[in-house]
Amino acid sequence: MTTAPFFYAALTLIIALIGGLIPVFSKVKDDPARLKMLSGIAAGIIIASALMVVIPEGYELASGEEHTNELLLGGAILAGFLLMLILEGSGIGHAVHEEHHDHDHAHGHEHVHHGNGGWMLVFGLSLHAATDGVAIGAAAATGSIAVTATVAFAVLIHKAPAAFSLGVFSLHERTNRNDSIRDVVVFSLATPLMMLVAFYALSDLETHLIGLAMLFSAGTFLYVATVDTLPDIHNPETGRKAMLYVLLGVVILSVLLFVADASGLIAHTH
């Protein structure tokens, strides 16, 4: 019998609230180098999680039906990737920390407000947070504790930097600190709420549909991980360091996965 991921929902909420409220109540936002380091490592962990856990497990679940259409499996990953691409192209981006730093460099300490664009960026970040919840909820619906823990770890490791980025951006856009707190709370609630919704919705569905949901989430993972790091990697001044951070993230999760597998902690449900 599968168990609802209440623990991960609570943990995600706490981490997101702490990460998002730190810049609201402190001056730690003045250290962009640390944020870039955390984002790079998180990106490596997300990539490794998507390619080594979420996609293989999702593929196994989704291909359990006879006459499974291979294009449908790849299409689920592509759909997740394209969703984030469309949001980004429409101005509903998730990498708000880049925009904030760009304005700081270009205008010193002057605040440049984006009107409705600010709300759209908060919405975009919260929507991505909701897809994180779908990934964990779908993993929990499979009944595999190891898979759920691995997917949750990948989400949790980048939740604090993402929330921190939102807090920084919100401070930059809002004139009232209470508005910034509200932005952080909305973002923080998105993942745990969608996690539980996805779990209960997918628990009663056939396993191949759960697999498709996981593959969709993997597509969003891949987009976020690559797009967040590409600007720094393409920059000759930061490229080598950004690459090392991403590789470090990949190594961290890979080692954890191989150790867990050797210890018999990773047991597939099929």
In this predicted model, which residue has the larger pLDDT, 29 or 75? 75
Say if residue 109's pLDDT is above 70.
no
User: Considering its fold, how many domains does the chain have in total?
Assistant: 1
Residue at 19 is within a domain: no
pLDDT class of 244 with cuts at 50, 70, 90: very high
> Cα 3 from chain centroid?
22
Cα 49 from Cα 30, distance rounded (Å): 30
Q: What is the pLDDT of residue 108?
A: 43
Residue at 234 is within a domain: yes
Residue at 6 is within a domain: no
Residue at 140 is within a domain: yes
User: pTM of this prediction?
Assistant: 0.65
Residue at 158 is within a domain: yes
Q: What is the pLDDT of residue 100?
A: 41
Residue at 15 is within a domain: no
In this predicted model, which residue has the larger pLDDT, 87 or 65? 87
Say if residue 270's pLDDT is above 80.
no
Query: Span 18-36, mean pLDDT?
Result: 75
- Return the closest-CA partner of residue 57 out of 129, 144, 132: 144
Whole domain around residue 158: which residue ranges?
33-262
For 3-16, the pLDDT digits (tens) are 778 888 999 999 98
Residue at 129 is within a domain: yes
- Of 13-22, 138-147, 153-162, the poorest mean pLDDT is in 153-162
Burial class from Cβ neighbours inside 10 Å (0-12, 13-18, 19+) for residue 84 reads buried
For 159-218, the pLDDT digits (tens) are 777 777 677 767 766 667 788 888 889 889 988 998 898 888 877 767 788 788 878 878
